[in-house]
Amino acid sequence: MSDGRGRRAGRRAAGALLAGLLLAPGCAAPDDAAPGSTTRGVRATLDRRAAAVLAHDTDAYLATTDPRATGLRTAQRRELGNLADIPLSSWTYRLHDVTARGADRATADVELRYRIKGYDAAPVTADRVLDLRRDRADGRWYVAGDRAADGEDGRQLWQQGDVRVVPGKHSLVLGVGRTEQELRRIARTADRAVPAVSRAWPERWAGRVVVLVPRTVEDMAGLLGSTAADYRGIAAVTTGRTGGTGRNPADRVIVNPQAYGTLGAFGQQVVLTHETTHVATRARTSSATPTWLSEGFADWAAYRAEDRAAARIAPELADAVLRGDLPAALPTDEDFGFAGDPARLARAYEGGWAACELIADHWGEKKLLAFYRAVGGHSGRDGAVEQAMHEVLDTTPQDFIVLWREYLRSALG
């Protein structure tokens, strides 16, 4: 994610962007739903909501909401309007469990799933808890409350305001409170990032990216279920679940408009190319992949075609080398914490980039790609790097660190 040189770009955020969906079209069969009239009634309500969202039918949508829940009705009317321009191809509501709370009250655990047409190979998902009330006059169930399940991330973009949609050749940019001119500039930068990533990562991937641009860094943090302090200096982050499922999860690149706006054209290009690399490599990135490799590879891809001296790419490490303060080991996951020392964070990203640059230079780019896949394909973190170094690079972690430190001396000294 990052290029610590006057900017701190985003990384893949912990956890996927699964938050805040209040709208629920398309009802799939519950996985382990209890039988009975309550479950059937709840399912019927969600089916009606499904059709209403996809048809942008506000009246039909609100007809499934408890008339007495005036605050919820106001919020959902606004949100349905806010997402009207987003080209949805699907919106499903998977019912996991229904708990009856008397004859006319129930709580439902659900998974909301949606896709953007032409962009999402897999759905964005969010676990929600719905409170429902049955009207004795008509026998129907109505949604009276909607909240995130425990452990879920923050909100969806359309809960923050009217969403402006700007399509690019390889990108779709969704913004709230941003001008169309600004969003078009971001789309052009993202459109250049996608083919650059495809050249660095020739393995098949979606070849397109969805970029979210909220109004403020506080709104960015809201999308991620975090605090603004964690992201003030971060130009962008990428969301999405890791895992080698063979399918690209639905990632989103989220731009911090304040930090991103302070960068020049080159810095903005590096940021979006870095983040798009995370989108492309997501299916090959797993819990076995150390952060130095995932972030280092993304920086390597972002700088790969740029004629840039190593000391300009890694200025913090270059200063450390000149001071004789050469790192003894590759960066740990903890070194990449956003809330820590900015210089330490910059050195972590630069150290990861240098490790990937070393592999590409010493063993070749094909070996770097094979190494990335091998590490991500391991069953767990323990032994993943060691085994991949042995099988792909014919070396050991100890010997690799010796080469890496020598590379830092020669390239940055």
CATH at residue 53? 3.10.450.50
**Separation of alpha carbons 104 and 113, rounded Å:** 27
Summarize the chain as % helix, strand, coil (round to 5): 45, 15, 40
Cβ(385)–Cβ(397) below 8 Å? yes
Q: Which residue has the tokens 């009217």?
A: 162
Q: E strands of 66-155, at which residues?
A: 88-100, 105-116, 124-134, 141-148
Q: Is residue 127 located within the same domain as residue 230? A: no
Q: Is residue 237 located within the same domain as residue 280? A: yes
The pLDDT score that the predictor gives to residue 188 is 98
Given 96, 118, 152, the domain boundary residue is 152
Q: Is residue 147 located within the same domain as residue 76? A: yes
Cβ(345)–Cβ(254) below 8 Å? no
**Separation of alpha carbons 54 and 26, rounded Å:** 9
pLDDT averaged over consecutive 10-residue blocks of the chain (413 residues)? 39 33 37 64 93 94 96 95 95 92 93 92 88 95 91 80 97 97 98 98 95 96 87 89 52 95 97 97 95 98 94 96 95 85 91 98 98 97 97 98 97 90
Cβ(219)–Cβ(20) below 8 Å? no
Given 123, 152, 181, the domain boundary residue is 152
Q: Is residue 139 located within the same domain as residue 175? A: no
Q: Is residue 106 located within the same domain as residue 219? A: no
CA-CA-CA-CA dihedral for 234, 215, 268, 304, to nearest 10: 60
Q: Is residue 206 located within the same domain as residue 91? A: no
Query: 307-313 — which CB contacts under 8 Å span 24+ positions?
Result: 310/354, 310/357, 310/411, 310/412, 311/411, 311/412, 312/5, 313/3, 313/5, 313/350, 313/353
Q: Is residue 175 located within the same domain as residue 204? A: yes
Given 152, 176, 199, the domain boundary residue is 152
- CATH assignment of the domain containing 1: 3.30.2010.30
Residues in Cβ contact with 293 at an 8 Å cutoff, skipping those fewer than 6 apart: 352, 355, 356, 372, 375, 385
Domain count, the chain: 3
The pLDDT score that the predictor gives to residue 8 is 37
Domain, as residue range, for 405: 290-413
Six-digit token pair at 233? 């200096």
The pLDDT score that the predictor gives to residue 339 is 67
Strand 124-134 to strand 88-100: parallel, antiparallel, or no bridges (unpaired)? unpaired
Cβ(371)–Cβ(297) below 8 Å? no
Structural element, H or E, at residue 164: strand 164-167
Q: Is residue 147 located within the same domain as residue 190? A: no
Q: Is residue 89 located within the same domain as residue 194? A: no
Q: Is residue 85 located within the same domain as residue 130? A: yes
Q: Is residue 91 located within the same domain as residue 135? A: yes
